[in-house]
Structure 1
Amino acid sequence: MNKTTQIYGIRAIIEAINHEEPIDKVFLQKGLKGDLSRELESLVRRKGINSSYVPIEKLNRLTKNNHQGAVANISPISFHELEQLVESVMETNETPLFLILDQLSDVRNFGAIIRTAECTGVNGIIIQKKGAAPVTADTIKTSAGAAFKVRIAKVDHVKDAVYYLQASGVTVIAATEKTKNTIYDLDFTIPCAIVMGAEDRGISPSILKASDHLAKLPLLGEIESLNVSVACAVFLYEVVRQRHS
């Protein structure tokens, strides 16, 4: 099984970015100075790469090598461009199914969702470049290898992806408790994309507003929500039920 590759050193990371390596996240030392570090920071911002500033102790835990104040993770998979993904799916599938993950942060939840997506025929998963869970070795393991089979696109902003899908004839359905409609009130036999939100705060208000429909799961117990990967599975299998019954 492929594992996430870690690279360290400012110049090495700059070269990796310039060679279009699928970098998931860059960890930069707080307070780092110098022309080379500024070049790396500028490159990370320009390319929209997920990054965070951390104390040197964190970098020392990430690697025992001479990191020079910067460590990066290279994803074990390659990502797709949104436009190419959508166009190729729309050309070959009359009723495409997409999954949009809005700021999902837990790598194991991400892996479990990818696994369910592969099992339910999802044609592509869309995530945001910044703030989204990276594809790590744990993601791959939890997905049971499905991360190598399902196409994943990274975008600068999820809302732009919503608008692009809508312009392509795809209905966007947001999974949220902030509605009276349940999943059993909606038609999933049409081309659609399901939006799942972050574990702690759900779908952002701007994405809810941009979505075509809102839908919730009926909860009959005292606990107010399901784990996001479980909720996603229920949504996706309702799509399967409607399309194959």
Structure 2
Amino acid sequence: MSPERLQRINQMLDNRQPDLTVCLDKVHKTNNIAAVIRTADAIGIHQVHAVWPDIEMRVSGNTASGSQQWVKTIKHYHFSEAAEQFKRQEMQVVVTNFSESAVDFREIDYTKPTAIVLGNERDGVSAEAIAHADHQVKIPMIGMVQSLNVSVAAALMMYEAQRQRQLANLYGQRKLDEAYCQTKLFEQGHPIYAKACRRKGIPYPAIDPLGQIVADACWWERMRAPDPDAEPE
């Protein structure tokens, strides 16, 4: 792994915000999901949630521009499953919804552990999501259109969260589990070896501060051994 690659991956890991997430409530268009994932990666979100009861979720690699390698998408069949995870992480649930109790999305304190929930353009968020909401928010609009594309609305809210968190100096402090960081450093810094490990069933090695593989002779011997699944020439 080059020093530049190591620095970039470590910078990404140092800026991830595991207590900030986005939940897409029955958003069906894969290009919208992929666009949200791409923005989530850009502002340091570690994982996103998607409630999709009926359709198997697929994310377009072209639209996400590889962001799905860095941002994990967790699928739920019901919003209650997502809400239970948010509760365990002590996250406030912020739901976009046109209602009398909705406030400007910028009035929310996103420095707190937060799950931002958005629905599709036609139906909005589900009644179940609203029932779990700690706050309902809206994005002020003074034109003729009454709704934004979900990926645009998500981007506005995520960047407001980033703005607040930067002011609070919440970036630049590694908060992720070290085992996860080691996995990402190996998979993204040594992708050929990582692929071989998965193919041969070899445990991932440790990565040292210089980005180099730390493994004993036995590990290297197993790595150099012929692939048992390879077809004979």
For the superposition of Structure 1 and Structure 2, which TM-score range results when normalised by the shorter chain?
Answer: 0.5 to 0.7
Residues 105 and 199 in structure 1, CA contact (< 8 A), matched pair in contact too: no
Q: What's the % identity of the aligned pairs?
A: 30
Whole-angstrom CA distance in 2 between matches of 1:217 and 1:133: 30
- 1:121 offset after TM fit, Å? 1.0
Q: Which amino acid in the other structure matches residue 75 of structure 2?
A: K
Contact 2:17 2:45 in 1 (8 A): no
Give the deviation of 1:120 after TM superposition. Answer: 1.0
* Aligned residue among 133, 138, 146 for 1:216: 138
Find out whether 1:166 has 2:87 as its counterpart: yes
| 1:90-101 equivalences in 2 (<5 Å) | 96-101=19-24
Structure 1 ranges of 4+ moved more than 4 A:
92-95
**TM-score with structure 1 length normalisation?**
0.58
- Of the three residues 137, 143, 146, the one matched with 2:67 is 146
Task: Give the Å deviation of 1:95.
Answer: 6.3
Which residue is equivalent to 2:158? 236
Query: d(CA) in 2 for partners of 1:119 and 1:93?
Result: 10
Within the alignment, does 1:183 sit opposite 2:128 as a pair?
no
Aligned with 1:231: secondary structure?
A: helix
The number of residue pairs the alignment matches comes to 153
Match of 2:46 in 1: 123
Larger Rg: 1 or 2?
2
TM-score scaled by length of structure 2: 0.61
Q: How does 1:1-245 map to 2 (within 5 A)?
A: 96-131=19-54, 134-136=57-59, 139-178=60-99, 179-245=101-167
Classify the secondary structure of the residue corresponding to 1:200: coil
Higher RCO (Cα < 8 Å, 6 or more apart): 2
Q: CA deviation at 1:189?
A: 0.5
Give the partner amino acid of 2:90: G
Does the residue aligned with 1:237 lie in a helix, a strand or coil? helix
Distance in 1 between residues matched to 2:88 and 2:107, nearest whole Å: 24
Deviation at 1:155, TM superposition (A): 2.1
Q: Is the 8 A contact 2:25 2:52 kept in 1?
A: no
Q: Secondary structure at the match of 1:184?
A: helix
Q: Distance in 1 between matches of 2:56 and 2:33?
A: 7
Are residues 165 and 180 of structure 1, via their aligned partners in 2, closer, same or farther at CA, if it must alter by over 3 Å?
A: closer
Deviation at 1:235, TM superposition (A): 0.5
